[in-house]
Structure 1
Amino acid sequence: MSAELTPYEIFEAGPVHLQCGITLPDAKLAYATYGRLNAALDNVVVYPTRYGGSHADNEFLIGPGMALDPEKYFIIVPNMLGNGVSSSPSNTPVPLAGPDFPLITQYDNVMLQERLLREVFGITKVRLACGWSMGGQQAYHWAALFPDKVEAMACFCGQAITAGHTYVFLEGVKHALITDPAWMQGRYKEPPWRGLTAKGRVWAGWVLSQEWFREELWRGMGYVSVEDYLKNVWDAMYYGLDANDMLSLIATWQACDISANPLYNGDREAALKAITAKSIVLPCRTDFYFPPEDNAREVAVMPDAELRVIDSVWGHYAGGGRNQPDTDAIDAALRELLA
């Protein structure tokens, strides 16, 4: 997680039966809230976390004068299962610890999040569900699983269904970790540093575009060469994160399919058509994970959706607060949906 962990609460969910057929006996959903819930319970924004991130990493889009203004909205940021803050391989006791932690789907995540809103706050209406990357996957799931509850949805640099090309990319990241001899089938005595370093180097070549490197934008960050940038930014990017947690999130990402649940039974078109929320889907023109062409297919089926491409060389990072013009474009879209 790239940001310092800011205050959060824990929803003690008790036994949670997962799609994979395993029960988490004492599931914990960590979440943070920003702003106040109004008397009508209708100023709610759900803004789930992304791969490798916590609630603190979402705060770049929350603030006075922004679309997600805590003076106006009650913003709930739930941490995905597996991210090291909610129930995860690194904090779950045996027999489900480490590599024995079960597969989590985005359906599992969102069904648990809906329980949090309903059981803790009495919330039955969501003004906006939004998110970046894996957070956008969850926003899509919110809108499809609870079409009568979600009024608006925004996904920035994310998808409803993980594409085959992205699945293969994630296989490369996964194998960078698990081929480190220190990984020991997930029962490592110390972090698999070589695998974590390799994971960072693989990720660096995918998260930013060819144009970004061609324009040498790393120079604006104070680095004198590509290798200088890789060494100082990416080699230790994942050192503070647990390898089994990262593998759990990869498995969740690879399994993402908006229709893979009892409501839609694999009918992807039906799941997308069920999204009645006013939606803006914001891919980046240069995103290798979630290219605009994939989102265009999704949006074409949705009843009230707009495809709005972010024209940026920042690739997947266009959705993550790294470049202010990209963040401004996302903020403007959220402002429209909340108007």
Structure 2
Amino acid sequence: MSSRREFLNASLTTSALTGLSVAPARAVTRARPIVVSTWDFGVAANQVAWEVISRGGHALDAVEAGARVPEADMKNHTVGRAGYPDRDGHVSLDASIMDDQWRCGAVAALEHIAHPISVARRVLEKTPHVMLVGAGALQFALEQGFPREELLTPESDAAWKAWLKTQTYKPIANSEMSTYGHVPNSKLPGDVHNHDTLGILALDQQGRLSGACTTSGMAWKMRGRVGDSPIIGAGLYVDGEIGAATSTGVGEEVIRNSGSFLVVELMRQGLSPQRACEEAVMRIVRRRPETAKSLQVGFLALSRQGAVGAFAIQKGFVYARCDQNSVDQIIPAKSAFL
């Protein structure tokens, strides 16, 4: 009896191993690399990110390099060193970065450092934390060798002093804005497009996803105000199994809904990037119907297969796309309100 049992066990084991050895291998489909980012100034960011991607580089390096472009642009008053200050005259910057392995880093209310996205990358790589803020973020940046700079430019200083004469705080939905943060034909210092963000998502040649988000926040904001951009799950979220999402617009509304995380989770449930962005926006509209009519929030999403989606509350939100077929596409997003 013992010999028979041993024979049967050996036979079953051999059959199982044989079955495993002849099972067909699963086909691996690799998506074509792509970079997408919010707004028309995302074109220049995409081009730099694409240089990294086209050389076989990592998506994380690509989004950091891309985000640094608007941070250094002296014409851009909503991102980086030329950003408009808070109501007390201080320029403070926020940024976050995340890869497809759920590694992330962020800084908020960071002053005197021109490239917050690179400091956020150092938080990811050099600390056990996710976010550093204020004086602690500045201390860390200086310890990491980032130069201390005066970020309040003459142009931003002049705009702030003009605003001080009335101190009118009236953010206008970015459906009415032109490039880099000015209301067309407006001479009112308070009427600025003061809630733009550069959110950038990339899929590299190896199928790796990463994202970055950077902003100077709302012009004339209260000192210490932080929006959604540096908050993982609000302004940015990346899940290597599903996709990535970023946001732009009034950060308070995005935070209330954990917007970018919501978009990715909707994608996990089977929605396309486009449908996920639409549902996330409409959730804001349904919850705050009267408020939604006067504000802007937009989402941009990228699946691990390279599919893209974008949707906003108000018309006017555009995003930039870069792939092997084009490096400078600007695509208008659909919106809840026309």
TM-score (norm: length of structure 1): 0.28
TM-score, length basis structure 2: 0.28
Bigger fraction of residues in helix: 1
Higher RCO (CA 8 Å, separation ≥ 6 residues): 2
